[in-house]
Amino acid sequence: EVQLVESGGGLVQPGGSLRLSCVASGFTFSDHYMDWVRQAPGKGLEWVGRIRNKANSHTTEYAASVKGRFTISRDDSKNSLYLQMNSLQTEDTAMYYCARGHHSFDYWGQGTLVTVSS
């Protein structure tokens, strides 16, 4: 059974940093592209970014709203995906989901909540 479990969310002050993790199981993690998607409270879904698999050199793509502030990385030996978030702003407050980037986003985690507030 495919499972994605996010962690690392919490309350952070504007300008602060946070690192989210997503641990995968039930599939060959290293073969797959992985994505982060977020959802502000009461709002729609926003794609944050993607990291490709090793065969594609772990290259990344980002939404303009986070480019230069957020970094996606992965450790295939740990079946883990990461989202390093720097210079956080109040508008980054959201539930953050990791998703497997296969056939669109076929599996999602349950999400981890990030709140940026003073």
Partner 1 sequence: DIQMTQSPSSLSAFVGDRVTITCRASQGIRNSLGWFQQKPGKAPKSLIYDASRLQSGVPSKFSGSGSGTEFTLTINSLQPEDFATYYCQQYGSYPYTFGPGTKVDIK
Closer residue to partner 1 (CB): 55 or 103: 103
Give CA–CA dist 34/43, Å, rounded.
Answer: 23
38 vs 74 by CB, closer to partner 1: 38
> How many residues make up the chain in this entry?
118
Q: How many Å apart are CA 68 and CA 63, to the nearest integer?
A: 10
Q: Which is nearer to partner 1, 61 or 76 (CB)?
A: 61
Distance of CA 9 to the CA centre of its chain: 11
The tokens for 99 are: 């998703």
Closer CB to partner 1, 16 or 108, in the complex: 108
CB of residue 118 vs partner 1: minimum separation in angstroms? 27
Rounded to 5 degrees, φ, ψ at 92 are -85, -5
> Would you tell me which residues interact with partner 1 (CB under 8 A)?
35, 37, 44-47, 50, 61-64, 97, 103-111
- Closest approach of partner 1 to the CB of residue 106, in Å: 5
Q: Is 80 helix (H, G, I), strand (E, B) or coil?
A: strand
CB of 17 to partner 1, least distance (A): 23
